[in-house]
């Protein structure tokens, strides 16, 4: 599967790793919904590290859509919440 880390680019991650990644992803969503900023920061960092560790970067010129998209490492809980809301703040 292709994963995009916002602000960094895309990586290809083997499907076998998604059990581990999904667990972190669910945790991240819970922390976001409960407003647990420190927990959110911790889990996001762990998730990004795992994706970088397990994935292979796609070449810059690749035009493939990503199945999964992760916020940038410095994204705040509020920003991510906003991106996931209906109109979001994603331009264009």
Partner 1 sequence: MSGVMKRMGMIFRAKANKALDRAEDPRETLDYSYQKQLELLQKVRRGVADVATSRKRLELQLNQLQSQSAKLEDQGRKALALGREDLAREALSRRSSLQQQVADLQVQHQTLQGEEEKLTLASQRLQAKVDAFRTKKETIKATYTAAQAQTRIAESFSGISEEMSDVGLAIQRAEDKTAQLQARAGAIDELLASGALDDQSGLGSKDDIQAELDRLSGGNDVELELQRMKAELAGGPSAQQQAIEGGAPGAAQSQQTQHRFDKQ
- Positions that interact with partner 1 (CB under 8 A): 3-4, 6-7, 9, 21-22, 24-29, 32, 47, 59-72, 80, 83-84, 88-92
DSSP 71: -
Asked if 25 and 88 touch (Cβ cutoff 8 Å), the reply is: no
Instruction: Enter the tokens of residue 14.
Output: 């083997």
* Least distance (Å) between residue 12 CB and partner 1: 13
From the list 56, 78, 41, the residue with the least C-alpha distance to 10 is 56
Please state the closest distance from residue 91 (CB atom) to partner 1, in A. 4
Asked if residue 55 lies in contact with residue 3, where contact means CB atoms within 8 angstroms, the answer is yes
Shortest Cβ distance from residue 32 to partner 1 (Å)?
A: 7
Smallest distance, partner 1 to C-beta of residue 76, A: 11
Strand partners, 69: 4
């Amino acid at each position: 599967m292709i994963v995009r880390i916002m602000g960094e680019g895309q990586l290809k991650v083997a499907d076998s790793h998604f059990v581990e990644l999904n667990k972190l992803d669910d945790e991240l969503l819970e922390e976001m919904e409960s407003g647990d900023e420190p927990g959110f920061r911790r889990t996001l960092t762990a998730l990004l590290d795992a994706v970088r560790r397990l994935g292979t970067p796609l070449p810059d010129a690749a035009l493939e859509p990503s199945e999964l998209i992760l916020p940038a490492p410095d994204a705040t809980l509020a920003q991510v919440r906003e991106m996931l809301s209906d109109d979001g703040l994603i331009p264009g």
